[in-house]
Homo-oligomer: A and B are copies of this chain.
Amino acid sequence: MHITRYTDYSLRVLMYLAVKGEALSTIKEIADSYQISKNHLMKIVQQLNSKGYVIATRGKNGGLRLNGKPEDINIGVLVRDIEQDLTLVECFGEGNTCVITPACQLKTVFAEALECFLQKLDQYTLADLLPQHQQAKFVQLINLN
């Protein structure tokens, strides 16, 4: 069971921007800091922008900043929004071929469990991922590499 890198990287970008505050950060800068693919990050940022999580400014001296305060960005909401495919088991999806589906509670049970998972994430915001007392360390880590 995995979350895609796509969602993982989305969260990392938002954390980066949260620490940066009002200052703009470029995609290249973020990709370099995290040592991950700039190309992949572009797609991610594009989506974060279109969904309103970040504000992207094009052109020279452009860059990214967080849209809103870290305390207002909920992790559960974000994951529901970004993680592309939450079809936990085959019978969740469109192309389900499982013959017993009409007589089986698997779907119900897993749907409940997924909801529990997401509700736990609903209890946290971006601010919780970066406690105040660890922000200095965070800055160190992203500058060192």
Residues of chain A having any CB pair with chain B under 8 Å:
1-3, 5, 8, 11-12, 15, 33-35, 75, 83, 85-90, 97-100, 102-106, 109-110, 112-114, 116-121, 124, 128-131, 134-135, 137-138, 141-142, 144-145
Q: Chain B residues with Cβ under 8 A from A129's Cβ?
A: 104-106, 109
Q: Max chain B CB contacts within 10 Å: which of A110, A131, A145?
A: A110
Secondary structure of the A contact surface, majority rule: helix
Bound-state Cα–Cα, A145 to B97, Å: 11
**A131 partner, pick from B105, B119, B121, beta carbons under 8 A:** B105
CA distance A105 to B129 in the complex (A): 5
Determine the residue in chain B with the shortest Cβ distance to A87. B2
CB nearest neighbor in B for A119: B116
Give the residue of B3, B100, B128 whose beta carbon is less than 8 angstroms from that of A142: B100
Determine if B109 and A1 form an interchain contact, defined as CB atoms under 8 angstroms apart. no
Question: Complex formed: what's the CA distance from A102 to B133 in Å?
Answer: 12
The answer to whether A141 and B102 touch across the interface, beta carbons within 8 angstroms, is yes
The answer to whether A138 touches B104, judged by C-beta atoms less than 8 angstroms apart, is yes
In the complex, the answer to whether A103 meets B116 with C-beta atoms within 8 Å is: no
Contact B102 A137 (CB under 8 A): yes
- Chain B residues with CB under 8 Å of A88's CB are 1-3
Contacts of A90 in B (CB 8 A): 5, 8
